[in-house]
Each structure stands twice: as structure tokens, then as C-alpha cells.
A = this chain, B = another copy of it.
Amino acid sequence: MSMTDFADLSAVYLNASLKRNNADSHTQKLMSKSSKIMEAEGVAVETIHMLDHKIGFGMVTDAVADNEAEADEWPSIQAKIMAADILVIGSPIWLGVKSSLATLAIERLYASSGKKNDKGQYLYYGKTAGCIVTGNEDGVKAVGMELLYAFQHIGFVVPPQADCGWIGEAGPGPSYGDENPDTGKPFGFDNDFTNKNTTIMTWNLMHTARILRDLGGFPDKGNVGADWESVTNAAQF
């Protein structure tokens, strides 16, 4: 396929907002700007609002079976992530860090990270991921550090500038997408920096997914856990 044809790709956008209803989530508003770019380019997008689901706690793959949780809808979310080329987690900022739900999502992804993909690599090899962050105070980069670190650590490729976000000036104030009473327009929607970075992130995720798909996943020499001693390796030196 052409390097800029993305019609066979798919993406999951996971919203870790603390707002009960997705329609109230400011983070969703910025996530939608990204996901709509992907959809316009042919990518199949599914958006999941975490609080619409009962998700169990624990370093387990199934919290009902393994951890006495009353319910756990994570396994079906995990299945969707496994079927997708691209994962985007959106998180609000509270006290400068990612939300408890974003932390929960990473924990549940991590709980499966010891499994292997078809090549024998760790499970998430061959996929790419990014993050979208909003708040009214401060912390876009701090949230990005934790999310992107987790992604790469468990096997995702992190493209150039895989994070984007919006915050206002220091202090409490409007959230992303709130109506500006002076102009009648949503706060942040006309922020060129946020729009540019959101655009670049989205394209970079699509490019990376295209490259990985065309390569048949990430090359597998030297990174298959079981075989690391069969290649040139650190224990030799």
C-alpha cells in the first residue's frame, strides 16, 4: 500500500476522564479532534470511556477470576486494544499527574505484558501509542512522561511527538472546550499550538502504524525474551 494510505488500520482511543459521562469530558473534546483526523484518513476508530465500564483493580488479566472482583470488563477492552494498531490514552490532569483511571489502564496493560505475540516478542510489539492530556492548570508533560514511558517499556513504539494537550494559564479557570462567554467559542479550540501538536501526533501515529504493518510487526532479532542469549548480547562483554 501507499505509505499514506491508512485505510486498513485501526485505533483505540481510551478516555481516562473522571467525568462519569463522556459528553462532559473536556479531554474527550481534544481526543475527538485527533480521532476525527484518523477517521477522515480511513482508520477504523473505537473510543472507549473507561467510566462506562466496571474495571477491576489488580495486577491480573481477569479481576473476577484472579482477584475476587465483582465485575471486570477489562478483558474485552484488552481484546480491542490487541486487535488495533494504535492506542491513544487520554487523561485529565489532577494535582499535576494522570488520573487514577489512566493509572488503572496502564496497570491492566502491564498485567499482560509478560505474554508473547506471534513472533515470541512481548505482547505489544508491533503496535504504537500516544497520549492526549487536558487540564486547567499544569501537568501535560508530567502526564505524558508516565504514559509514554509505560508504552515503550511494554513494547509499543513511541513516534516523534506522540503527546499533545491543552492547559490554560496558571490557576483555576476554564477547561478545554468550555464556552468562552466573551466570544461564544470553546476555550482552546483556536490554540494553534494545541491544534498543530494534535495534528502532528495523529499523523505520526498513523505513519508508525503503517510502517509496522508493512514490516509485519517490529523486527524480531534480539528482542525475543527467550532468545536474547543467542544474539550478540550484554552478558558477553
A contacts, CB < 8 Å to B: 3-4, 18-20, 32-34, 36-37, 40-41, 51, 57-59, 67-69, 94-101, 103-104, 106-107, 110, 121-122, 124-125, 137-142, 144-146, 148-150, 152-163, 165-172, 188-196, 198-200, 202-204, 206-208, 210-211, 215, 218-219, 221-223, 225, 228, 231-237
Contacts and interface: CB of A to CB of B under 8 A. Distances in A.
Contacts of A171: 191-194
- Please tell me how many copies of the chain the complex holds: 4
A145 B142 CA distance: 9
Query: Interface residues of A: mostly helix, strand, loop or mixed?
Result: mixed
A167 B152 contact: no
A3 B19 CA distance: 44
A150 to B, nearest CB: 5
B188 A203 contact: no
Contacts of A154: 95, 161
A103 B107 contact: no
Nearest to A219: B207
30 contacts: A20-B69, A33-B234, A57-B101, A95-B149, A96-B146, A124-B160, A138-B139, A138-B167, A140-B170, A152-B163, A153-B163, A160-B223, A167-B169, A167-B170, A168-B169, A169-B191, A171-B191, A171-B192, A171-B194, A172-B193, A189-B235, A190-B235, A196-B234, A198-B233, A198-B234, A199-B234, A200-B222, A204-B223, A206-B222, A211-B211
Contacts of A19: 58
Which residue of A98, A153, A198 has the most chain B CB atoms within 10 A of its CB atom?
A153
